[in-house]
Every structure is written in C-alpha cells, then in structure tokens.
Structure 1
Amino acid sequence: MPPKPPSAADLLHLHGQSLSKGDPISPDLTMASMFHLPGLPGGEHFYGRAGTPTWDVLESALSHLEGAPTLVFPSGMGAISAALFSVLKSGDRILLPSDGYYATRRLAEGPLASLGVATDLRPTTGFAEGRFDGYRLVFIETPSNPGLDLCDIAEIAGQVRAAGGISVVDNTTMTCFGQRPLDLGADILVAADTKAPGGHSDLLMGHLSTRDDALLDAARTWRTLSGGIPGPFEAWLLHRSLETLEVRFDRMCTTAGHLSERLAEHPAVSQIRYPGLPSDPGHALATRQMSRFGFMIGLWLETEEKAEAFINDCPLLRPATSFGGVHSSAERRARWGDDVPAAFVRLSVGCEPLEELWSALEAALG
C-alpha cells in the first residue's frame, strides 16, 4: 500500500489552533521588510529576506502536508536551485532523468556545469537499472513530465543512500495527496506550487521539504544569501489556495480517470499514457507508490496539425504551457524541444464537470 496522504481536515484548522479571541480566521498578510529590533537579535524576525510572519504560516501548512520541515521559494525552479546549489561543489557528479522537466536539465548543463559539476542523464523507466556509485546527488521525477513514465522511489532512494548520495524527488505532478516521496525514503522533496497547490494560474511559488536538519539548514542559508525569496502576497495567496487543494485534486484525479478510459477507446487517439489505466506500463508501480493516479494524461493524435486543432478548437481547454489549474489545459510539448512525438499532447485535467468537459473534448477530437 502507498503511504497515507495527510489530513486535509487538520490542515483547515491548523492556523486556527493558535488564534485568540477576536483574531481573524484568515492569516495576516505582513508586508514588511524591516522589523522592530532593539538590542541583540535573538531568533525573532529581523529582515524580510530571512523570514516573515506570512512565510511562517505558509511553511507551517506545507510542513503539515509534507510531514517534514519545509521552506518556501518564489518558484518551483527556485526550490530546485536551492536543492542543487546548497549541497553541490566543484568536482561533484549528479544524475538527472533524460526525459524529465527540461529546465532542470538546462540548469545542470549550464550554470552547474560552469561551476565544475558534471551531469549524467538516464531515462526514467531505466533509472534504477544502473548503479549510483559516485553520484553526490540523484534527481528523480516520477511521473516524468511530460511523458508520464514512472520509476520506483523507494528502491532508488535506498540504493542512492547506500552509495553515499542524496536523493531529490520532484513531486510537482502528484502533490502530497497523490504521492509521498519522503515517506518512501527520499532525502529531499521539491515541488512547484505554481501548479495544483496554487491552482488558479495567478502565482509562482515552490517549496523544499526534508527531514534532514543539515540539508534544511543548507537550503535555508542558500535562500537567505542568494535572495531567492517569495513575496509575502504570493505566500498569502498560496496559503489560501492550499485549503482547497485536496478538494480540487480529488475532482481533477477522478475526472482524469474517467476521461482516460474514454480517450483510450476513441479512434482519434492512437496512444495514451495515464498511470491509472490497467494497460499503462507503469500501472503496477503506480498502485504501490501513489495514492491517486494524478490529473495529467498524455495522448498521441495522428498528426501535429490534428493535435494543434484539438487544443485550439476545444472551448474547455486553455492552450498554455503550465498545468494543474482549475481550468483544463493542454499543449504540444514538442514545441519546447521535449523528446516526444510532434503529435503528443499533454492534457492537464481541471475542475470542470466531467460530462461537460468530455463533450467538449469529444467534439474537438471529432
């Protein structure tokens, strides 16, 4: 059985447990760069780059959801950068998925390479087949974005630890309600809260979680010294959105499950990827390590032109390059250079009613 998801009910009342009579239910939005600081500093807030009360409330909520101390960042790539730059040094070697999010590879092959960090690539489906000796850090992404291939987090994290390395898992596509990488043995979890946690396509945020105090301190120091910090209003917005994440994620995953079955039978779809389908090559692993199968569907249409027409002609699809919003969205990932066929479509299922969404998708496919 996969690890148990966090309590959404406890999250909704987490902040309320600390309130006094007359306090607002909603957390305060503290717009401050300086704080009153007579005498010597002693653990309180002193400067906005190091911490704010609004961050505190958000990080408390995310720590509850991830079951581990958590730091917030201004984007998912901000969290990934902290995970990499806070632990790596010249001469280190890292391993990345060759079919994962392209920006992570570009970060490694550009800025990190210029600092003397070497990078190897390995496909997600064969990630556990090679050895992990000699790697300071191994970066895991499952399901991979955009191809939705899976790899075994527990197996890989155990092997990486035995080899003396650090395992980092990007859990953006699944959220804490769909997959629990830290419970499966990963050292660090990173995620882009721009996606489903934010959910309304109106903010950029990310977070890093770890149960290792040394890794947490290193990431916190990196955040403070690099200046890679979120704004207080974005932090406040994300906290607001987290309170409905479980409800939205449940709706999105349930709808995606029904749509995947229908799309798999549609004559215009030549191939489909969705971990919840028994026919999917990752289904057996998904049932072991994922509590939900996600809201992302990969589908192949006949031609690039038909893929573009499907995306652009469907009134209930937003042609956009992100995912996880309340509005269903889709794009041809090949246009960004991902190693997928030109007619491959990444479909992110939103919160529209199932039958209305299916009618619109069916008409666009036809």
Structure 2
Amino acid sequence: MEVGDGTLAVGAGRPGAENFAPALPGPVFAGHYHLAGEASGPYTYGRDSNPTWTLLEQAIGELEGGAEVVSFSSGMAAVSAVLLSQVRVGDVVVLPDDCYLTTRALRERLESYGAVVRMAPTAGDAQAALVDGARLVWLETPSNPGLDVCDIARVVAAAHAAGALVAVDNTLATPLGQRPLDLGADFSVASDTKALTGHGDLLLGHVATRDPGLADAIRLWRKTVGAVPGPMEAWLAHRSLATLQLRLERQSANALALAEALWGRVSGLRYPGSPDDPSHEVAVRQMRRFGCVVSFTLPSEDAAERFLGSLRLVMQATSFGGVQSSAERRGRWGGDAVEPGFIRFSVGIEDTEDLVADVLQALEKIT
C-alpha cells in the first residue's frame, strides 16, 4: 500500500505488532552475544551487528525508497567509508570544491594513498566535465554552506557513461526532501546528526545503496575500521524519525518565510526553495522539500557578530537541522570561500511570526 511521507516516517523499521511488546524495542547494549556451537546467525559480536542498528537501518532504507543501509558513528564516518573503501591507488575521484569543508579535507588523505582528485563547483553541473576516467564522483546538493544545486540525474548519466560510481551527500535534504538513489546515484550518504534526527543530541551517519555488493563493501569497512554507532544513539535516531515529516514541513515553511522577509535587506541571500533563488529551477525538479538552511551575507564580520548576539530565539551553533533555530558566522572556521559576514542560518520549528520578528529586530541593531 502506498502511504504518505508522514505515515512512512512513523512506521519505518518498526517490528510487527506483538502482544505486550513495545512499538519500538529499547536499545540493545551488547558487546557480545551467547554463541553455542558454530558462530552463525545475525548477531555474533558487537562490532559486527546489533538489533538496534538493524531496525534503524531498515527504517532509513524505507525512507530512501528501498535500499540497504549501513549506519555509522558520525556523518564523516559514513563519508569516509565510501571515499576510502571505493578508491585505490591511481583511481580518479571528482569532488565539489564547495562541499562540506571536512569532506574536502579528505583530498589530502586520498592523494596520500595515490589517488588523483579533481575538483569543480556544484553550480552549473561543473563536475560533469571531469568524469572521464573517474572511479567515483562525489556530489553534495544543496551544497554546504553555499546552497548551490546540481542536476543529480544529469551528472549521474555523464558519470555512469564514463564508468564511474556516484555518491551524493544528501544531508541537508534528507530522504524526504530528495532521493538520490531514485535519480540514479549509487550511494546516498548523510550526516544523520543533523536534519534526519533533528534534535541536536547525537552523532550518527548512514550510507544507503541498492547494490548488494557495494553494501557489503561498506559493511566490511565499518567492521574493520570500527566506526560503529552506539545502540543508544541508534535508538534515539529511530525514535526521532517519527516526527521527520512534521519537522521538515515546518522547517521548510519557516525557511521560505525567512528568506522572503530577508529579501532586499541582506546580500547574497540563498534558499533553493525560493522562486528567486538561482538554483530553484533545478531544485524543484529533484527535491520535494528544500531543507532548513538559509544563507546570506552581512556587511562585515563585526555586523555579523552583532547580529548573532542580538538574536533572542536563535542559538549560536555550528550544526544545522535542529528543532531550535541556530545560526553562525561561517567564516570563523576557515576553509570555506565565504565573506567575513556570511551567515549560515538553520531554521527550526518555532512559530513563524516569532522567528521572523526576532531576525528582523536583530538586523535593525546593525543598520
């Protein structure tokens, strides 16, 4: 039976009804399991598998439109698992030069292993021109923090024609905003620390694929490197999925309202869900929801810091996707090609009028 996203999110990965059993079993804390005789079966050792991971991975697999999922201890563990398990000496990797800065930092590691790294911007599908001879093409759309968008299906077609695999960092959109696997990608990767779980209280990541061989390779990487999620984190994540559709709807609506309120008041305003955004035409073709992040630039570092310090409802934090709105001056970290006054704003689920009013009063303090 076809169901809506809200229904899917509530029921994803939950076991069938059983008398006197909870709807979602609690976390299983186990470093090892009782093994009589031969060590065969689904659960043998705590670094290999865990019943709590199993339910979460089944749930995310349903949200991804049907996929095998491997969960990880963080988003970067998931990113590294794909990049470092699939690339060998002499292989060519294509990365966006405007993706998450820690993903870009893997360039040095890849090159130290003898791989060749090519880089191009997300906008304009520029990476499609670099796929000849590549082993793996990595996309991040919308990009973080600049919010550029590429046409996933177009780049995938070019990459596959050249014999390359394609991985998409889908952190900002989540599977209810965008399904890279439906657009032909081989991997959908995300930091579930952010919007998927949405409460800012855990670190987690996942890799989804519809290719059993690729899934096995990712699981082997997790087993040998040991980047496994804790059962409590996995259980919290699964519990949080029930409200994913509700959170995304409210965050997307709030983000659009904020972008509209900021139009003409700030420079460099970006939100792919806004009809005025340069990426909107591509975004509407492949996204069902446009995420919670709005970016813009204030006149100076000082103006940005005064703006942030004047916000009353908004937390100053470096992550995004949480139920509470947060914002930061991104340039304080270095590594991103942004102006000193660039603001990455993660829109939460507060009442729209309250949030917009808070942002506008903070802007008045710097004008």
Q: Find the aligned partners of 1:258 and 1:340 in 2 and give their Cα distance.
A: 24
Deviation at 1:352, TM superposition (A): 0.8
Q: Find the aligned partners of 1:73 and 1:313 in 2 and give their Cα distance.
A: 37
CA contact (8 A) 1:189 1:208 kept: yes
CA contact (8 A) 2:12 2:63 kept: no
Match of 2:75?
Answer: 76
Match of 2:193?
Answer: 194
Q: Find the aligned partners of 1:5 and 1:192 in 2 and give their Cα distance.
A: 26
Match of 1:327?
Answer: 324
Match of 1:162?
Answer: 161
Name the SS for the 1:18 alignment partner. coil
Instruction: Return 182-191 or 21-30, whichever deviates more.
Output: 21-30
Deviation per CA, 1:276-312: give whole Å up to 9, x if none.
2222111111111111122111111122111111112
* Amino-acid identity (%): 48
Q: Find the aligned partners of 1:50 and 1:175 in 2 and give their Cα distance.
A: 26
Q: Say whether 1:53 aligns with 2:51.
A: yes
CA contact (8 A) 2:269 2:297 kept: yes
Q: Find the aligned partners of 1:16 and 1:100 in 2 and give their Cα distance.
A: 34
Matching residue's letter, 2:291:
G
Instruction: Return 111-120 or 98-107, whichever deviates more.
Output: 111-120
Name the SS for the 2:206 alignment partner. strand
Deviation at 1:14, TM superposition (A): 4.0
Q: Say whether 1:236 aligns with 2:244.
A: no
Deviation per CA, 1:201-253: give whole Å up to 9, x if none.
11000000001111111000000111111111111111111111111111000
TM-score norm. by structure 1 comes to 0.95
Q: Find the aligned partners of 2:225 and 2:75 in 1 and give their Cα distance.
A: 15
Runs of 4+ in 1 over 6 A off after TM superposition: none
Q: Find the aligned partners of 2:201 and 2:260 in 1 and give their Cα distance.
A: 31
Match of 2:361?
Answer: 363
Match of 2:352?
Answer: 354
RMSD over aligned CA atoms reads 1.5
Match of 1:65?
Answer: 63
Deviation at 1:99, TM superposition (A): 0.7
The runs of 5 or more residues in structure 1 that have no matched partner are none
Match of 1:255?
Answer: 254
Match of 1:297?
Answer: 294
CA contact (8 A) 1:256 1:295 kept: yes
Instruction: Return 231-240 or 270-279, whichever deviates more.
Output: 270-279
Distance of aligned partners of 1:17 and 1:240 in 2 relative to their CA distance in 1, 3 Å threshold:
closer
Q: Find the aligned partners of 2:283 and 2:115 in 1 and give their Cα distance.
A: 33
Deviation per CA, 1:23-55: give whole Å up to 9, x if none.
112222110111111111223200000000110
TM-score norm. by structure 2 comes to 0.95
Q: Find the aligned partners of 1:320 and 1:7 in 2 and give their Cα distance.
A: 29
CA contact (8 A) 1:319 1:331 kept: yes
Name the SS for the 1:157 alignment partner. helix
Q: Find the aligned partners of 2:160 and 2:202 in 1 and give their Cα distance.
A: 35
Q: Within 5 Å, give how 1:1-366 maps onto structure 2.
A: 7-67=5-65, 68-109=67-108, 111-126=109-124, 127-128=126-127, 130-266=129-265, 269-337=266-334, 338-366=336-364
Deviation per CA, 1:338-361: give whole Å up to 9, x if none.
101111111110011101111111
Deviation per CA, 1:70-114: give whole Å up to 9, x if none.
1100000010011111111111110100011010111222x2222
Distance of aligned partners of 1:185 and 1:69 in 2 relative to their CA distance in 1, 3 Å threshold:
same
Q: Find the aligned partners of 1:29 and 1:128 in 2 and give their Cα distance.
A: 42
Deviation at 1:128, TM superposition (A): 4.5
Matching residue's letter, 1:352:
E
The runs of 5 or more residues in structure 2 that have no matched partner are none
Q: Find the aligned partners of 2:332 and 2:246 in 1 and give their Cα distance.
A: 32
Distance of aligned partners of 1:6 and 1:125 in 2 relative to their CA distance in 1, 3 Å threshold:
farther
Q: How many residues align?
A: 360
Q: Find the aligned partners of 1:185 and 1:175 in 2 and give their Cα distance.
A: 16
Matching residue's letter, 1:241:
S
Q: Find the aligned partners of 2:219 and 2:13 in 1 and give their Cα distance.
A: 23
Distance of aligned partners of 1:29 and 1:167 in 2 relative to their CA distance in 1, 3 Å threshold:
same
